[in-house]
A and B are shown apart, each in its own frame.
Chain A
């Protein structure tokens, strides 16, 4: 059923149940959903309204099986997100959504899964991991590569450490720079590529991060024999309405908010990295 913009433009007011600071500029909000509950698919986003400041699209970073909470992990980049960082438990925030396309996890049952996250791009990929780990036997080999600026910027650090202990998940973290004592990798995320072993015939890759990072990752994946129709990317553009009406997020013929943010690379290959498109 089609939703009406009239209702969709008015945010539901949600109470913050938990505020957790992840790093110096990143935090996680746990919201109690409106009465009717909240369900989403991994990769989708909500429009979050900070009272009196404005609204921004933020991907959902929680477990899709958990309909009792709405979880967002946010990096304070602009006016709205910086103000959100000062929110406290029991304060409220406006939520519209969920919007957009999702990582096609249901279609990828039986496949090997490669997740490549850059920076805050780990947030929209975390729901995929939650889903896969709760349905572990339905997927083949699972590998997560996560690149960040420094060890101090790593998000979900505890969770990643506990995931590292699992035998059914390969995980590599790399940072751009580190001080002595960091035992992980240093170098951009693409430098991990030559070391990983993929079965190109059975792997599906999901990429989320800055466009440059996805661009070079795609080149490495191509070298490894993956085709564009095995690679999913998540795009970012200016979004105001979230429902394909305001026109801001256009990427050629697509509306990133409605036809994306998750795209099969082969569908948008001609649009990706086209300058000033």
Chain B
């Protein structure tokens, strides 16, 4: 799956960044294995590099990941069985697997969500390991334009979601909300606030 390759490369670039900012060899890999959410990890690594405190890195990363609360609620009905099993399976939820599994109308494909998550997880963790260990061979991720590759991937995942007037309106409204809040709120908050654009669906129902 092409997204797996992209995620592998992002994992490599996270590993490179983490290594270059002095996170050591083991911590970045542990972080990819437990956090498994690209943007928060990049943010945390950048803050630690800039001399920020652990608290600042934690706050930024957690704010960036708050979106997983509504995301995990949106797919909650797909998870059955005992609580520990649901806890483990829920860790396969990541932006990419969730977007791939979205079937429109608020329905999600369970097999696609878990299958894509299972594929992307080793790509992300393995890519991080490659980046940490092979560091220096590739150079600066920004010089390679990898920071533009992330939004391009999300754009590619967004396009199939734009079927219908409401979806398009929600996307435009969310983009506007996010952009308007960037100058006034810490990173992460604009993304969470943009989910208010979903209310378009409430009024018109």
Instruction: Report if A and B associate in a common complex.
Output: no
Q: B residues touching A (Cβ–Cβ < 8 Å)?
A: none
